[in-house]
Structure 1
């Protein structure tokens, strides 16, 4: 009866969509739905998934799960009316896998992907037929132009890493300035209280990194993945170091150099468009790596750790600031999120913090401190989303409407993931100890956070 009604009556599309979703997912669809014909269905009071065009359903049929949903969002075929964070939280159980005591538990959408080809089953056949009738005729729509096309070569080689960084960062400095604000820091801030502004919180984070590294006038600092130059500027201006920043993004480098020249610090800061693996002018007294290691890849992380170890003098410190995922019982089952991989960070990979600590120790580092900043990142992302939404027209003009939608979805979904402890972020302080084992750190954490250097 359900299928005959669906096939026989294309009016009231929202009810048809909700019925199909409930049946396909074997669980109630958690959002209200508003369809292209103006109809609405679903739980009253819930955020509304707006299906603006029928082609959004064709995207979902050809790519069930998060990628089909993301393509519809980026193309503007889908939107959310209401609290976006609540909507993403409700959808997360459907489109993201969850770790359970007995191992990873796939969401209903993953089960749907596995059974979508079993058309000899009468029930599945009728479901597919009803969905196709509602979606309308035609081939699957082309992916939005913001999606990364087919990549060639081995992941995390120098050419492919450079292309991945260009996709994410070379989308216009004006666009990032609208999101990040005057600090131009694209990593987790540190918030003291509810009155703290984004700019104050980012300065606090940069200063925390400098204090953990024990920076002093005349020292040499290497900032790996230097972004738009905020870390090297802060360290040179407030701690008197000579700083080198490396990035693979030509747009970031140009922006950073301009800021450095305006600050009158060209004699103490150098910005290079360079792969960290090609840095050969050590030793450095300290290395900061803030939000860069996520691009390294698990197969290359040992090389990353060994390279940074070799660039430090004995007694030198590394501050590694990195997003971490939850560990899995079967680490081989880990897969890169399709939306993130296709639209945000191509080839990006997350590792558990324990794996990061192990790789650093295997490279020769002594890990001295690990600080979790998970809740701070949720708040940072919400501040960035507010900036983006408040300057939506300018942001879309600076890059593209599709790119702006990518960043809104990515940042809002990431905020929910941090708040729900699905991912975290940690600062790991590690030391290349001297030959006699000396680490050059004060006896207590309180002492070296206040700027002390030796016991």
Structure 2
């Protein structure tokens, strides 16, 4: 009888109709596939049960998070080689019986059934790190729960991943040759935003989704503005308040646990929203934009820094990546940049500048993965092995998404242009001061 790895290789190639792009190592120690390629390690038969009961990306993700699947070698290379080699359909309705009705996969699925053993008849429980999704309701309660799931992992864990800057958004890199540090690139990003907003001493800045307070601290310290930072995460707020107190800036910075829909103390001279709008959702995005517009004084500027995706042929059928929705950003939604610009303009803004930082996010994510891998044992001790595996997979896969132009990230500068049309921006593009 063939060993487990050879049988898996044959079954896999039967499904995809192409040679196996990676090496397979099975639970019995056997190996199959290109010897020089990085290895996908199938540690037990439970991994097969997960794939049979939830074919496609979500089944693979569950096996990875639970530790049933692993990688030996370059994780980026395995993800790149495997891209496109899962069953195309990956939604909650696809089950084992669906797969058995698929003529192209029936024989391979039957082979996996034999290899997985009789336990395959019982669906394995999802890893405890998986969150029950709410179908993108985007109420105050569901948004708070989703934010808590993602950001309340623990500040010590985020310190490992993000480094001293504690900035959780795309950095702005001077070079890609390894001579720029993550901390320098994040400082340059914060300063770029401050310059685009033309911040000046005495102004009021609202930082929507303020995270651990890095933007608020930079703007108050370097530009002399008064900042209100809002977040839905209690852990973030506590951390940010301590940083503010440690720097002696409590007279200039207020950190609130508050929904953007509940801010009523405008007008503000400027608003920054950095990596927050992905949580807003398509159904409520116009409301988000209208709220921010109402909070700005005439002539005030908004800097909206947001991840985007490529347009789909059927926009009504689009939903965020199944793994990310289940394990990383519950109820998160991405939109094409054109949709974002349109919604901001519908709310009354004049969009003055759009800058893509797509390649910069690839570099940022790789730096975060390097940080995580360098302190892997401590990260596991802090967050648990499942959560640490979630983060490693999510960040590595997203890095490839930005590198391959499946994802984008853009800074949109918009103005609440007053009646009469005087935007307050200089004539020459990208000289941000008045």
Q: Same fold (TM over 0.5)?
A: yes
Counterpart in 2 of 1:65?
56
Counterpart in 1 of 2:44?
53
Matches within 5 A, 1:162-173: 162-173=144-155
Q: Does 1:41 align with 2:32?
A: yes
Q: Does 1:136 align with 2:117?
A: yes
Q: CA deviation at 1:329?
A: 2.3
Which among 411, 425, 428 is matched to residue 395 of structure 2? 411
Deviations, residues 284-325 of structure 1 (Å, cap 9, x unaligned): 000000000000001111001100000000000000000000
Q: Is the 8 A contact 1:319 1:427 kept in 2?
A: yes
Helix, strand or coil for the counterpart of 1:447? coil
- Which ranges of structure 2 fall in alignment gaps of 5 or more residues? none
Q: CA deviation at 1:118?
A: 6.4
Q: Is the 8 A contact 2:54 2:95 kept in 1?
A: no
Q: What CA distance in whole angstroms lies between the structure 2 residues aligned with 1:356 and 1:236?
A: 28
The TM-score, its normalising length taken from structure 2, stands at 0.95
Which among 407, 410, 413 is matched to residue 429 of structure 1? 413
Which among 143, 163, 168 is matched to residue 186 of structure 1? 168
Counterpart in 2 of 1:146?
129
Q: CA deviation at 1:107?
A: 3.9
Q: Is the 8 A contact 1:26 1:108 kept in 2?
A: no
How many pairs does the alignment contain? Answer: 429
Q: What CA distance in whole angstroms lies between the structure 1 residues aligned with 2:117 and 2:68?
A: 14
Q: 1:148 to 1:114 in 2, by over 3 A?
A: closer
Q: Is the 8 A contact 1:368 1:429 kept in 2?
A: yes
Q: Is the 8 A contact 1:316 1:433 kept in 2?
A: yes
Helix, strand or coil for the counterpart of 1:174? helix
Counterpart in 2 of 1:16?
7
Q: Is the 8 A contact 1:116 1:124 kept in 2?
A: no
Q: CA deviation at 1:150?
A: 5.2
- RMSD, matched Cα: 1.9
Helix, strand or coil for the counterpart of 2:305? strand
Counterpart in 2 of 1:325?
309
Query: After alignment, is 52-61 or 21-30 more displaced?
Result: 21-30
Counterpart in 2 of 1:208?
192
Q: Does 1:386 align with 2:388?
A: no
Q: Is the 8 A contact 1:294 1:349 kept in 2?
A: yes
Counterpart in 1 of 2:75?
84
Q: Is the 8 A contact 2:160 2:375 kept in 1?
A: yes
Counterpart in 2 of 1:100?
none
Q: What CA distance in whole angstroms lies between the structure 2 residues aligned with 1:438 and 1:389?
A: 50
Q: 1:359 to 1:154 in 2, by over 3 A?
A: closer
Query: After alignment, is 425-434 or 17-26 more displaced?
Result: 17-26
Q: CA deviation at 1:87?
A: 0.9
- Which ranges of structure 1 fall in alignment gaps of 5 or more residues? 1-8, 96-105
Helix, strand or coil for the counterpart of 1:445? coil
Q: CA deviation at 1:121?
A: 7.6
The TM-score, its normalising length taken from structure 1, stands at 0.91
Q: Is the 8 A contact 1:94 1:108 kept in 2?
A: no
Q: What CA distance in whole angstroms lies between the structure 2 residues aligned with 1:361 and 1:38?
A: 59
Counterpart in 1 of 2:141?
159
Q: CA deviation at 1:26?
A: 2.6
